[in-house]
């Protein structure tokens, strides 16, 4: 077997879960037998917990198999989200396990305070505390089995998480986190055994157990909340969306983003973006390539193995308004230096920065009909252009008008767009 094939074999999720199944089967058999023989409900209960882990491992294998099925017309993104159902279930299971472990630890601590123990149990039903029964003959066996169990759980959990992340299987990562939680519980059991024989202080096991219960609950909540967000198609987060917006605006031709929607399907990040561009609503190959490249480069990493980007293009809003140019309609039309030297006003309708319609109005007819400022207000003129707006006669004709009097950048109409 070549090195590449060996790596592929040991990185196969089904091989990993087969190894996990074997570990749980051995642990369950040994712990249930040992726990019953020394009257240790903690060790025996942990053995029964490993039996439940076997069923969980089988479920994870089934989930991985379904998630690997190819996409189809009915399932365009495949069935990858099914893995997060497993993560959700494992998260709930860890939260329940942490609660159970915390109540047992509290019951163990109260055992050393009989009056308080009786008062609490009269209000809250706590599990019955049964002290550990061991002798010097069974101590080395219990210690050895507990130590090996901790080491196995730590090593296998790291193995599961590493393979799960590299292969993009969230359920395998979640099961690895659950195995890591098992190692913490087993570590507490080991600590209780050592404390009883080394310091004659078995009670040290219980406050440590509360700490472990908190750590397990935190892991369970992380798995639950992560799966919950994915299953309900929660966005990729405000921070990621802000960065995506920032990156998209660096692509030439992009004016702004009209909309941005993101969510996760399995280990695939889905980004749906509508880009505002003056190139129009038709497809733009170079802009689409630039957007895909820059977004994929940002998102692809440890958490996301694939990225699906849907891009739509639309024109910017017309931004309609009106301007007027004072022109001299002589041998050739030119922008007048001032209003007093103008023969006509050119009324221009502007859309998206371009003049789309024009109408020539004789300035004499405008002035004979009344004040110029009233006429400009009636026509909804925003800006009035002359070549020299500093001429004092301009302000006399405009009066108190709120129209902006601005300099034209050229005196040639064709240069100005009309």
Q: Which of 34-43, 256-265, 387-396 has the highest mean pLDDT?
A: 256-265
Q: State the residue for tokens 């195995």.
A: 179
pLDDT at 244: 92
pLDDT digit string, tens, across residues 210-244? 777 787 788 788 888 888 877 777 788 889 999 99
Structure tokens at 169: 């299987």
Q: What is the CATH number of the domain that holds 404?
A: 3.30.420.130
Q: What is the tally of structural domains in the chain?
A: 3
Based on the fold, state whether residues 301 and 412 are members of the same structural domain. no
pLDDT at 336: 87
Q: What is the rounded end-to-end Cα distance, in angstroms, of the chain?
A: 78
The answer to whether 103 touches 217, Cβ cutoff 8 Å, is no
pLDDT digit string, tens, across residues 348-383? 999 877 888 999 888 887 777 567 888 888 888 999
Comparing CA positions, the residue from 55, 36, 57 lying closest to residue 45 is 36
Q: What is the CATH number of the domain that holds 254?
A: 3.30.70.1350
Based on the fold, state whether residues 125 and 176 are members of the same structural domain. yes
Alpha-carbon span 363 to 222, nearest angstrom: 74
pLDDT tops 70 at residue 32: yes
Does this model's pTM top 0.85? My answer is: no
pLDDT at 76: 64
pLDDT at 248: 92
Alpha-carbon span 118 to 48, nearest angstrom: 29
Beta bridge partners of 354: 351
Indicate the residue among 231, 259, 294 that finishes a domain. 231
Burial of 94 (0-12, 13-18, 19+ CB in 10 A): buried
366 Cα distance to chain centroid: 62
pLDDT digit string, tens, across residues 317-344? 778 899 999 898 877 889 888 888 888 8
Comparing CA positions, the residue from 311, 177, 307, 298 lying closest to residue 253 is 311
Comparing CA positions, the residue from 305, 234, 299 lying closest to residue 78 is 305
The answer to whether 305 touches 343, Cβ cutoff 8 Å, is no
Between residues 256 and 62, which one has the greater pLDDT?
Answer: 256
Based on the fold, state whether residues 183 and 41 are members of the same structural domain. yes
Alpha-carbon span 189 to 342, nearest angstrom: 98
Indicate the residue among 294, 314, 334 that finishes a domain. 314
pLDDT at 376: 86
The answer to whether 327 touches 414, Cβ cutoff 8 Å, is no
Q: Which whole number is the average pLDDT over 25-51?
A: 75
Give the number of other CB atoms < 10 A from CB of residue 42. 23
The SS3 assignment for 211 reads helix
Between residues 259 and 194, which one has the greater pLDDT?
Answer: 259
pLDDT at 347: 92
pLDDT at 202: 66
Based on the fold, state whether residues 352 and 384 are members of the same structural domain. yes
CA angle 108, 143, 94 (to 5 degrees): 50
Q: Which stretch of DSSP H or E encloses residue 383? A: strand 381-386
The answer to whether 348 touches 355, Cβ cutoff 8 Å, is yes
Based on the fold, state whether residues 347 and 386 are members of the same structural domain. yes
Q: What is the CATH number of the domain that holds 158?
A: 1.20.1510
Out of 49-53, 148-152, 284-288, least confident range: 49-53
Based on the fold, state whether residues 35 and 102 are members of the same structural domain. yes
pLDDT at 365: 76
pLDDT at 269: 85
Per cent of the chain over pLDDT 70 is 87
Band the pLDDT of 206: cuts 50, 70, 90. Answer: confident
Alpha-carbon span 309 to 291, nearest angstrom: 9
Based on the fold, state whether residues 57 and 116 are members of the same structural domain. yes
pLDDT at 265: 78
Adjacency order of strands within the sheet including 256-265:
256-265, 268-276, 306-314
pLDDT tops 60 at residue 1: no
Band the pLDDT of 126: cuts 50, 70, 90. Answer: confident
Comparing CA positions, the residue from 85, 102, 51 lying closest to residue 217 is 102
Burial of 114 (0-12, 13-18, 19+ CB in 10 A): exposed
pLDDT digit string, tens, across residues 267-295? 778 899 999 887 765 667 888 888 989 99
pLDDT digit string, tens, across residues 402-417? 888 889 888 888 888 8
What is the residue-averaged pLDDT of the chain? 81
Q: Which of 71-80, 138-147, 166-175, 335-344 has the highest mean pLDDT?
A: 335-344
Based on the fold, state whether residues 286 and 211 are members of the same structural domain. no
Structure tokens at 412: 């040639």
Handedness of CA 72, 74, 76, 81 (dihedral sign): negative
Domain range for 282 is: 238-314
pLDDT at 39: 59
pLDDT digit string, tens, across residues 98-112? 888 788 888 888 888
Based on the fold, state whether residues 86 and 186 are members of the same structural domain. yes
DSSP assignment letter at 249: T
Indicate the residue among 198, 231, 264 that finishes a domain. 231
Based on the fold, state whether residues 79 and 97 are members of the same structural domain. yes
Based on the fold, state whether residues 180 and 282 are members of the same structural domain. no
Count each helix (H run) and each strand (E run) in the chain, helices first.
14, 9
pLDDT at 284: 75
Q: Which whole number is the average pLDDT over 150-164?
A: 89
Based on the fold, state whether residues 216 and 247 are members of the same structural domain. no
Q: Where do runs of H (alpha helix) occur along 111-204?
A: 114-121, 139-167, 170-198
The answer to whether 371 touches 399, Cβ cutoff 8 Å, is yes
pLDDT tops 80 at residue 147: yes
Band the pLDDT of 134: cuts 50, 70, 90. Answer: low
Structure tokens at 288: 């689409």
Out of 86-90, 160-164, 254-258, least confident range: 86-90
Alpha-carbon span 46 to 150, nearest angstrom: 12
Q: Which whole number is the average pLDDT over 17-21?
A: 89
Structure tokens at 67: 């998630």
Alpha-carbon span 339 to 345, nearest angstrom: 9
Burial of 363 (0-12, 13-18, 19+ CB in 10 A): buried
């Amino acid at each position: 077997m070549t090195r590449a094939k060996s790596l592929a074999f040991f990185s196969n999720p089904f091989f990993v879960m087969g190894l996990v199944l074997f570990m749980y089967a051995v642990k369950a058999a040994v712990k249930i037998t040992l726990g019953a023989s020394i009257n240790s409900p903690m060790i025996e209960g942990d053995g029964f917990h490993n039996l439940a882990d076997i069923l969980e491992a089988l479920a994870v294998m089934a989930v991985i198999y379904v998630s690997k099925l190819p996409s189809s017309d009915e399932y365009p993104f495949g069935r990858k989200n099914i893995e997060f159902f497993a993560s959700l279930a494992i998260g709930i299971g860890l939260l329940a396990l942490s609660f159970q472990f915390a109540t047992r630890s509290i019951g163990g601590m109260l055992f050393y305070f009989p009056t308080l123990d009786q008062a609490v149990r009269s209000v809250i039903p706590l599990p019955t505390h049964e002290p550990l029964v061991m002798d010097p003959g069974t101590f080395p066996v219990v210690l050895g089995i507990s130590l090996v169990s901790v080491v196995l759980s730590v090593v296998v959990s790291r193995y599961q998480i590493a393979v799960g992340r590299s292969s993009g299987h969230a359920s395998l990562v979640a099961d690895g986190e659950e195995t890591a939680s098992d190692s913490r519980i087993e570590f507490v059991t080991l600590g209780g055994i050592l404390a009883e024989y080394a310091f004659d202080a078995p009670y040290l096991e219980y406050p440590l157990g509360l700490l472990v219960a908190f750590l397990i609950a935190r892991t369970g909540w992380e798995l639950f909340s992560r799966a919950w967000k994915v299953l309900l198609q929660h966005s990729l987060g405000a921070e990621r969306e802000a960065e995506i917006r920032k990156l998209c605006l660096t692509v030439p031709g992009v004016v702004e983003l009209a909309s941005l929607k993101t969510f996760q399907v399995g280990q695939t990040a889905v980004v749906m973006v509508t880009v505002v561009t003056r190139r129009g609503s038709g497809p733009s190959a170079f802009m689409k390539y630039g957007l895909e490249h820059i977004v994929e480069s940002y998102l692809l990493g440890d958490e996301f193995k694939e990225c699906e980007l849907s891009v739509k293009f639309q024109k910017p809003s017309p931004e309609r308004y009106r301007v007027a140019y004072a022109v001299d309609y002589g041998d050739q039309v030119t922008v007048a230096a001032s209003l007093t030297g103008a023969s006509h006003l050119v009324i221009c309708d502007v859309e998206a920065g371009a003049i789309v319609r024009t109408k020539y109005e004789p300035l004499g007819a405008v002035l004979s009909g009344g004040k110029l400022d009233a006429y400009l207000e009636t026509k909804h003129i925003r800006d009035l252009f002359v070549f020299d707006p500093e001429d004092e006669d301009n302000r006399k004709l405009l009066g108190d008008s709120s129209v902006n009097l601005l300099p034209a950048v050229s005196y040639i109409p064709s240069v100005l767009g009309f």
